[in-house]
């Protein structure tokens, strides 16, 4: 893992359903999600990220990461603001 700029404990929402609690870390080169419940960590190079956006599902705040090849990753942060996470993924350091 590269130098971590910041990290958060939150839930990953796989497309197949459910939620997986783990750690989302933003580094200079990647966005990484790790959890003992995943076979492999999710590692997305920042160069492959088309955009990151804030969304809501009911009262729950979400970070949605869309990649250039059409993959979509949804992370829930509960009732807490996701603005800092979205801004950092979108290019802030």
The whole-number pLDDT of residue 2 equals: 64
Please provide the average confidence, as pLDDT, over all residues in the chain.
94
Long-range contacts of the stretch 43-49 (C-beta < 8 A, 24+):
44/71, 44/73, 46/89, 49/89
What is the domain partition of the chain in residue ranges? Answer: 4-89
The predicted-structure confidence for 27-60, as pLDDT tens digits, reads as follows 999 999 999 999 999 999 999 999 999 999 999 9
The predicted-structure confidence for 59-86, as pLDDT tens digits, reads as follows 999 999 999 999 999 999 999 999 999 9
Fold that domain 4-89 belongs to in CATH = PH-domain like (2.30.29)
């Amino acid at each position: 893992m590269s130098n971590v700029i910041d990290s958060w404990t939150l839930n990953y929402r796989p497309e197949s359903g459910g939620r997986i609690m783990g750690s989302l870390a933003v580094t200079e080169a990647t966005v990484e999600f790790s959890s003992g419940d995943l076979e492999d960590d999710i590692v997305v190079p920042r160069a492959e990220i088309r955009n990151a956006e804030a969304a809501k599902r009911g009262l729950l705040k979400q970070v949605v990461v869309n990649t250039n090849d059409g993959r979509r990753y949804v992370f829930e942060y509960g009732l807490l603001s996701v603005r800092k996470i979205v801004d950092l993924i979108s290019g802030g350091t």
